[in-house]
């Protein structure tokens, strides 16, 4: 083979690699934009879907502050559920999903997201909206996430103990 032919093949390979990489990157960007547009459209129709189930959407993109502790050092971060809804006196966080996988509330990434939301706010549950099928599921978890949620019960116990001690002291039972 001549040097010119090898040089042309080398240039062709390099150009082909750039074209392939550029095409793959462009395709990835197109897919991400399409998914984001789909999500925005889904969130836009959330209020209507919730109303059909008797809920009222009162806020969107609600920022909720959380703190995680790493080696006794607090690290604060924010999560943003898609909305906050009410029905009667009950309040719910709202999460809207589209697609085939994310619309399953037991899908590991979705389930973890919902659990994190349930830890972030004192609400009566999470409304899981499948925007493709126009369905709403009410999600609740069996345990509370933080010892801060047990604080009122602890304080009630302390108050009862103090009252009992005062009653015993006043009546002279001991």
Residue pLDDT, tens place only, 21-43: 666 666 666 555 665 555 555 56
Q: How far apart are the first and last CA of the chain?
A: 108
Closest among 89, 63, 88, 86 to 76, alpha carbons compared: 63
- With cut-offs at 50, 70 and 90, classify the pLDDT of residue 57: very high
pLDDT more than 70, % of the chain: 72
Which tens digits make up the pLDDT trace of 81-104?
999 999 999 999 999 998 888 889
- Strand segments (E) across the chain: 56-60, 64-70, 73-79, 83-87, 90-97, 125-130, 135-139
CB 146 within 8 A of CB 119: yes
Q: What is the pTM of this model?
A: 0.63
Cα 132 to chain centroid, rounded: 18
């Amino acid at each position: 083979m001549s040097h010119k032919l090898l040089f042309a093949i080398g240039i062709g390979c390099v150009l082909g690699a750039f074209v392939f990489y550029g095409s793959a990157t462009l395709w990835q960007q197109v897919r991400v934009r399409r998914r984001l547009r789909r999500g925005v459209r889904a969130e836009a129709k959330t209020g209507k879907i919730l109303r059909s189930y008797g809920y009222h959407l009162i806020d969107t993109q609600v920022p909720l502050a959380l703190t995680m502790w790493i080696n006794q050092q607090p690290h604060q971060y924010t999560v943003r559920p898609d909305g906050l809804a009410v029905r009667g006196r009950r309040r719910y966080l709202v999460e809207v999903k589209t697609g085939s996988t994310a619309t399953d509330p037991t899908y590991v990434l979705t389930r973890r997201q919902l659990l994190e939301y349930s830890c972030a706010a004192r609400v009566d549950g999470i409304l899981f909206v499948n925007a493709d099928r126009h369905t709403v599921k009410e999600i609740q978890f069996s345990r509370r996430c933080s010892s801060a949620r047990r604080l009122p019960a602890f304080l009630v116990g302390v108050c009862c103990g103090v009252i009992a001690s005062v009653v015993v002291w006043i009546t002279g039972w001991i």
